Structure 1
Amino acid sequence: MKLRSIFMAVAATVAISMPAQAADTLTVDDLLKLVEQGQARDDKSFKARMARFNASKAEQEKLVSNAQDERSRLEQLSASKEAQFQQNETAIAEAQERLTNRLGSLKELFGVLQQVAGDTKSVFEGSVVSSELPGREAFLTDLIQTAGSSSKLPSIQDLEKLWFEMQREATYSGRISRYNAEVVMPSGETVEKTVVRVGGFNAVAAGNYLNWDLEAGRLVELDKQPGGRYNGPAAELESASGTELTGFWVDPSRGQLLKIMGQSPELGDRVDQGGVVGYIIMVLGAIGVLLAVWRMIVLYGEAGRIKAQMKSDNANENNALGRVMAVFNANKNADTETLELHLGEAIAAEIPRLTRAIGWIKIISVVAPLLGLLGTVTGMIDVFETMSLFGTGDPKLMAGGISQALVTTVLGLVAAIPCVFLHTLTNNRSRELMMILEERATGILARQAEQQQAKAA
């Protein structure tokens, strides 16, 4: 069965490889011949493959032999190199020991030199003098590496240059210099400006204080200047001649105090900390002051007109006393009691004109401190809420509420104090004018009563 299958497969293969017409006339003998021919071709191909394999095997054996020879040569070379390395290690150790013995106390000297160079480098990096003498740190960096190296020693010239740089730093620290340097503006732009340096403390340019940035190694203009009180002398120092004396504010902390002053809030920042309540207090205070000024102007003008009326017997109705006298002139023939009623009515009509808006000033002087207290309570509520959420570890989180609590109280007092003072002035002035009217009305009544008694007699 298996043989039959093989035969059918061979026959099918032969049939596929032959044309259709030849396959139809193929006999068994022809098929046997074809099989024999195929077997002969396969034997020939197999023998060719075996020959190539044997030739390749010989070549591979030759390559293996060459690799083994190369490995032996490299092993011998490695052994010789390892021996040479051991000899070099021993020679280096002996030379190092001889160098250490020869150095002796100089080794300690170079250690001290390395330390001094490191300290000097730190001083140079943080000194504003470096803006005038840039690049000094490179020499110190090389000197530190040289002093710490065992293969290269510092020279006499290096020691003399270190002494020179230290002496130059001390000399320049006691000098006021004018030079050009690059300044980083608050906007981030770098501009070359004429800089005036006062020793190792401060540097100014165009009337503004500069700060030496340690990381960037450049002069940086402060984002927030300390104010005209300090910037004014800085501008005068820049414009001063070589022999002219001028005052200048020196920061002994070399810029730290200027930074702190820049971080301190100004008046506008303080007001902003008061929040909405603070602005309401300010508006009310301004309204109270304006009302008081207006009433003082009106009352002083009225007082001048009343004084002029007191010198004249003719009633002028442009002032309160003139209008009261006009009422008297209109009721001269009335009896004393009736005239007294008319004059009282006229004075009562003048009181609202004299005391107009004065009550509002008093109300503002009372309400402003209460609003300040409201802002204080609100701010303390914010503080306690912050404490309940974040604890008391970071005081900056509580600064906003505390600032509002204190600022609103201050604003309330600032608004109330002048309002109380101005209310007292305007109220006293209006009462003086009312007393003048009452005094004049009493005098009119007295004269009227005397005239009536004289007529009756």
Structure 2
Amino acid sequence: MKHYLAIMTLSVAMLLSAAPSYANQSLLNQTTQAKAAEQKANKQREGEFAATEAKLKRELKALQAKRTQLNKEIETLSDTFQSNEQTLADKEKQLTLATGSLGEIFGVVRQAAKDVQMEQQRSVVSIGLESDLALVSGIIDAKSIPAKDELYGLWRAYARQIQVSSQATRVTIPYVNQAGEISQKQVLRMGAFALADENGYLAWDAAKQMATSYSVQPEHPLLSSMDISSGTPMIAVDATRGALLEQLANNPTLLQRIEQGGIVGKIIIGLLLIGLLIGLYRALVLISIKSKISKQLKHTDNPTSNNPLGRVILVHQEDKSPTIEALELRLLEAVMDEQENLEKGISTVKLLAAIAPMLGLLGTVTGMIDTFQTITQFGNADPRIMAGGISMALITTVLGLIAAMPLLLVHNMLSSLSEGIRNIIEKQGVGLVAQRAEQAQQRKLAQPDAQGASQEVRA
């Protein structure tokens, strides 16, 4: 057993000593084969590199030859370009010398064409002259000197514009009504100033080639139904070609101005109406009283109670006072009662006349407060934002003054009527007192004479 183990150990040792030699031999063979393959690949790559290098050198020579040729062509073209530039400069000098003043004429013609175009766009003379508009536009947009036909065409456009501006003719144009419907309508064209239909002036839109009606017409508008054959009637013509007619719509009416006054303005108008009604009523009453007094003056012996003078005379007739002073006081009392009746409503009218301008001042202050509040919120960049408060401030002041003036006139008229009637009554009352005093004096004088006569009879 021991021999067997020794033999096995020796065999293993021999195998282990032989294994490295086999491995080294195999590695050496592999390395030799790899080196041979690499040398073969390197030779092949060197051959490819040499072929590529030769090809690139041939291409380089070709490009260098082409570059030389292009440089020669560039030099040739540069010489040609310079020669052409010099030729072009010479030609431009020759053109300038040849045209002479034609360049200035072109500028003048273009400016004249622009003037004609502007006039045609602003006025109604362009209606029916579409060919002239196209001709003028072509002259303005042209880059060269206009031809003879274009110059003659511009001259004819001038002549037709002048001719149309001096005539009143009827033309058919597209018309847009308030509902937005477009229709063809025959209207009257008054020169270059206005268009008119049966309702008044029309606004002409040259860009859209359509007409619309103005919202507000002047007092004497132009009408298409007018007979222009026998002569032009008296009409209002807007020399600004529609600018003033458009501003008519911005002018507020009387009701709109009153509406701008706000609640204060309406109160002032109410006070004015109340004062006028009171004044009218009292004026009718006083005139009626004065008429009755005039009739009573003709019949003082037959007084009636339907007028102040008759009532004062009745007081005199019914008075049984023993003294003149008592009668005078009774008549003064009667006159004061009548005066109180005569002055009814006059103080109210005076009060309303005094309150009206004060309310106008109140509206002014209120409107200015509103204006300042608007300025605080939105600034003062746009005046239209402040227009409401300023309108109220001014309108209420005007309304207050307008209300105060007629009320003062009514108060003065009523005071005059009342004062005249009162003077008549007082004058008649003084006359009655004087009459009673004369009668008393006559009785006093008659009593001594009667006593002396009776004494003589007794003697």
Q: Aligned partners of 1:125 and 1:165: how far apart in 2? A: 14
Match of 2:316 among 320, 328, 335: 328
Match of 1:164 among 156, 163, 182: 156
Q: Aligned partners of 1:357 and 1:255: how far apart in 2? A: 53
Partner of 1:408: 396
Which residues in structure 2 correspond to 1:247-258 (within 5 Å)? 247-258=234-245
| Residue 392 (str. 1) matches residue 384 (str. 2) | no
Q: Aligned partners of 1:192 and 1:261: how far apart in 2? A: 26
Partner of 2:174: 182
Q: Aligned partners of 1:107 and 1:125: how far apart in 2? A: 27
Give the alignment's TM-score, normalised by structure 2.
0.69
Shift of 1:102: 7.8
Q: Is the 8 A contact 2:168 2:228 kept in 1?
A: no
Structure 1 alignment gaps of length 5 or more: 1-89
Shift of 1:341: 3.4
**SS of equivalent to 2:279:** helix
**SS of equivalent to 1:246:** coil
Q: Aligned partners of 1:334 and 1:189: how far apart in 2? A: 96
Q: Aligned partners of 2:186 and 2:132: how far apart in 1? A: 21
Q: Tell me whether 366-375 or 282-291 shows the greater mean CA deviation.
A: 282-291
Match of 1:242 among 222, 225, 229: 229
Shift of 1:385: 1.3
Shift of 1:390: 2.2
Which residues in structure 2 correspond to 1:36-55 (within 5 Å)? none
Structure 2 alignment gaps of length 5 or more: 1-80, 448-459
Partner of 1:285: 272
**SS of equivalent to 2:380:** coil
**SS of equivalent to 2:175:** strand
Which residues in structure 2 correspond to 1:161-240 (within 5 Å)? 161-226=153-218, 228=219, 230-231=220-221, 234-235=222-223, 238-240=225-227
CA RMSD of aligned residues (A): 3.1
Partner of 2:297: 310
Partner of 1:358: 346
Partner of 1:301: 288
Partner of 1:45: none
Identity of aligned residues (%): 37
Partner of 2:416: 428
Match of 2:254 among 263, 267, 271: 267
Relative distance call for 1:338 and 1:187 in structure 2 (3 A) is farther
Q: Aligned partners of 2:178 and 2:288: how far apart in 1? A: 54
Q: Deviations over 1:143-176 (max 9, x none)?
A: 555x348xxx966544433332222112111222
Shift of 1:249: 2.4
Q: Is the 8 A contact 1:277 1:408 kept in 2?
A: yes
Q: Is the 8 A contact 1:131 1:219 kept in 2?
A: no
**SS of equivalent to 1:315:** coil
Q: Tell me whether 202-211 or 292-301 shows the greater mean CA deviation.
A: 202-211
Shift of 1:265: 2.2
Q: Aligned partners of 2:415 and 2:336: how far apart in 1? A: 16
Q: Deviations over 1:355-399 (max 9, x none)?
A: 111111100110000000001101111111122222222222222
Aligned partner of 1:167: which letter?
A
Relative distance call for 1:299 and 1:192 in structure 2 (3 A) is farther
Q: Is the 8 A contact 2:315 2:331 kept in 1?
A: yes
Shift of 1:137: 2.9
Q: Aligned partners of 1:407 and 1:310: how far apart in 2? A: 50
Q: Tell me whether 134-143 or 241-250 shows the greater mean CA deviation.
A: 134-143
Q: Tell me whether 161-170 or 275-284 shows the greater mean CA deviation.
A: 161-170
Match of 2:332 among 320, 344, 368: 344
Give the alignment's TM-score, normalised by structure 1.
0.70
Q: Tell me whether 99-108 or 263-272 shows the greater mean CA deviation.
A: 99-108
Match of 2:133 among 121, 137, 151: 137
Q: Aligned partners of 1:140 and 1:249: how far apart in 2? A: 32
Q: Deviations over 1:214-254 (max 9, x none)?
A: 3322222111223x2x32xx24x852341334223222221
Q: Is the 8 A contact 1:207 1:238 kept in 2?
A: no
Shift of 1:120: 3.2
Q: Is the 8 A contact 1:186 1:223 kept in 2?
A: no
Higher Rg of the two aligned structures: 2
| Residue 122 (str. 1) matches residue 122 (str. 2) | no
Q: How many pairs were matched up?
A: 357
Q: Aligned partners of 1:135 and 1:163: how far apart in 2? A: 13
Q: Is the 8 A contact 1:125 1:137 kept in 2?
A: no
Q: Aligned partners of 1:245 and 1:370: how far apart in 2? A: 51
Partner of 1:369: 357
Q: Aligned partners of 1:115 and 1:444: how far apart in 2? A: 99
Shift of 1:201: 1.6
Q: Is the 8 A contact 2:216 2:245 kept in 1?
A: no
Q: Is the 8 A contact 1:124 1:136 kept in 2?
A: no
Q: Is the 8 A contact 1:186 1:222 kept in 2?
A: no
